[in-house]
Amino acid sequence: MNLAWEEPQASMDRTVDAHIKNIRAKLKTIRPDLDPIITHRGIGYALRE
């Protein structure tokens, strides 16, 4: 959070999750058969190669 936002204390815990959800929804309209974002529980997210 410190690296992504200028004021990380103003961000809620689920901010990144909400952004990833929106990105996934937008990508699904382009390629419904592919989810290019991998969730690593407790760590974060990654993109598929």
pLDDT digit string, tens, across residues 3-49: 666 776 666 667 888 999 999 999 999 999 999 999 999 888 999 98
Which pair of tokens denotes residue 3?
Answer: 């690296």
- For residue 14, the model assigns a pLDDT of 78
Which pair of tokens denotes residue 9?
Answer: 């204390």
At residue 33, what is the residue type?
Answer: D
d(Cα 19, Cα 16) in Å, to the nearest integer? 5
- For residue 12, the model assigns a pLDDT of 65
Instruction: Give this prediction's pTM.
Output: 0.69
Nearby residues of 4 by Cβ (< 8 Å), 6 or more positions away: 16
Class of residue 26 by CB neighbours under 10 A (exposed 0-12, middle 13-18, buried 19+):
exposed
At residue 48, what is the residue type?
Answer: R
Domain-by-domain residue ranges, the chain? 12-47
